[in-house]
Structure 1
Amino acid sequence: MRIKFLVAGLMLGAGGMTAAQAATQITIATVNNPDMQTMEKLAPAFEKSHPDIKVNFVTLPENEVRQKMTTDIATNAGQYDALMISNYEVPIWAKNGWLVPFDNVPASYDESDMIPTVKKALSANGKLYAMPFYAESSMTYYRKDLFKKAGLTMPEHPKWSQIQQFAKKLNDPKNNTYGICLRGLPGWGENMALFSTMVNSYGGRWFDMNWKPQLTSSAWKKAATEYKNLVTKYGPPGVTSNGFTESETLFANGQCAMWVDSTVAAGYLSDPANSKVAKDVGFAQSPYATTKKGSHWLYSWALAVPKSSNHKEAAKTFIEWATSKKYIDLVGQKKGWVSVPPGTRKSTYENAEYKKVAPFASLVLNAIQTADPKDPSAKPVPYTGIQFVDIPPFQAIGTRVGQILAGIVAGQTSVDQGLSQANSVTKRMMQQAGYPKK
């Protein structure tokens, strides 16, 4: 067993300095999702081929790691050499000069193999500022066995009204199975990611073309009413504590008849090593209400190098390895092809081994390629983004509105009262941030 003591970038041991101490220590801040946990487990393979670089991981829940990374990069603290960030942060942080662009990427990396919509989402001013570790849209998961037993058929593109009918019929709390699991944990990247797509599908939007908040519109009210009914009547107890990871675990343990969430979970749920219901998982597109526009998101967890890093080249070397075709092959060999990081490379979806074990592959690829962050709503919007708004104040706004939404679910306030409060909060925070821009 090797024990690491990180002191001023050196390895210190009882026997004094050794050759290993000359290795560059890099620290990666990442979220605790299963694919990232796999990356950490496989990091020794990178260290073996790059003995001059040692990798340490700081792995935290999504909301917590976002806060720590944002504080670190905004204050130029330099605690991390690589950050697991998303296509929300990339263009904003690149504009602020906080990220190092990926210039002179080795030809062996094969940038042309990257899925174009994902590469574009991680670029700013024609430069790539983060490498996609995995990319995702959203989709509907359901239990084929339960649907068959109940005589139900899941459409390829279900409507939210149908989802509610299915949830009502399949809800069986006495046997620890719930009609539907949805994110309830407050956070702009947690409950608001799913809820924003619901709003979009009801024809709603965050702001009109003058940056006036639209959170009291009929679309928001319909979406909030639908969401509250689903999670309180047919969902598991304690839903406001369930984010992506908790919901994934519930479905994998057989406690959810349906789940609407990230496409990245498809591989995990299809793997018998992780999922008790692997052989019974069905897949469909994300639900919609009145329009399919913005009903499924586009998102990428990607690795970036902050300007504050003292080990930029070493960090770039690790990132190029962790997002390469070679890494995807390694995961396929070690964990099985159903577990490879999805959504980043065309070659993954052309790979016979992957297609053999991933019946969801074409659905996922279609969802990623058809999600359009520049056209997320039936009405025109002044922003880019489907489940988020690509402006700096949105991180705080989305999280605050997510807390209010959790309060609506918990019965602390009505839908109308909660959305009125959310609209006022959003208006105030936008004014404080200088919107609308002159």
Structure 2
Amino acid sequence: MLPQEIIRRKRDGKALTGEEICAFTAGLADGSWSEGQIAALAMAVLLNGMDAAEGAALTLAMRDSGSVLDWSNLPGPVTDKHSTGGVGDNVSLMLAPIVAACGAFVPMISGRGLGHTGGTLDKMDSIPGYTSQPDQKRFAETVRKVGCAIIGQTGDLAPADKRFYAVRDVTGTVESIPLITASILSKKLAAGLSSLVLDVKSGNGAFMGDARAARKLAENLVRVAGEAGLSASALITDMNQPLASAAGNAVEVVNAVDFLTGEKRDRRLEDVTLALASEMLLASGIATTTREAYDRAHEALESGRAAERFGQMVSALGGPGDFVENPDKHLPRASVTLPVPAANDGFVSAIDARAVGIGVIGLGGGRRTPQDTIDHSVGFTDLLPLGAETKHGEPLCMVHASSEESARRAARIVSSAYDITDAKPRTRKTILRRVTAEI
């Protein structure tokens, strides 16, 4: 079956057959489709869409392009979460150990940065020695002993998606709902989960900037997951500002450790993390009410048990044994630090979160092409949130860069991303909507 004929059919707005989708997926996995052909079909899907049958077929074909994990020997439920991507979104780093400390098992297979958003795997790769792509034996052993493991796709887990993901990142085809759905669910289905919770972002820092589009994506994800036999629910959360006060890789890891140890917790980040933890505990059957689920998650965090699990996970996957106690000793540090001064007195009334994410890429903390090497040390810290009071000349944030030139360039981007007005804006809701199979 010729690739160009499959591309032509989708270009012309026709539905692809299961056979054609399987041929495309096989070409992704075995390399017989070129990057140009993959990009062309991705663009055709972006422009013309896929119906429910096509989307489900693509999801299952990408799942079946590799092995599917079996966790039936574990003495507890297996659950996970996936975020559609945001800026300053390091929730996974806290969420996996919180839920594991409550008795569930979380084999979290994460991705690298996509478009302007940061990738969980890139954050974990900033930890020296951490093996983010272990063999299946080590992955399974870590999940069994620690309760959680945050890793990337291994070569035999949804390999078709791994190649597709990299091409979409650099060809302007990220925002397609069928392709986002297939990418997310193929990995999660291959991970052998019994339940899944989805964090669908909405706002200027999300791929789904429009609230209606975010709801459509959430409903599509929950529906396709159900058709594939996976219990799923979704929370739609606000991404009209960075979620954490840090954006980058190593800087977000420090932020996560501070969160787990209680050194510092950004309020919106805590809201989202505990809401998702509650959903996962409900979905996995560990809790029977939302109140019970929240209390269990909160206790795991406050008691330090979640921080302990995170440290055990890092050590089990090759990282430093004292990482939680001494993250600054191990993480890379940028050579240049520069404050971004506020232009005037007032209140932060709007933040272009996407621009902040682009600023991280400009510093070298993200990729322009799939082959780019990331500088894990760069990024932003101490980002002021919406509603914060500003004083002329005082910092909106701190830039961490490899050179004075790149620091100044990033500072200009952040400065223009912040709107400061005389009036304090109204507080925005963080959790916008819950989506289940019944809705």
Give the structure, 1 or 2, with the largest relative contact order (CA under 8 Å, sep 6 or more).
Answer: 1
Q: Which has the larger radius of gyration?
A: 1
One fold, TM greater than 0.5?
no
TM-score scaled by structure 2? 0.30
TM-score scaled by structure 1? 0.30
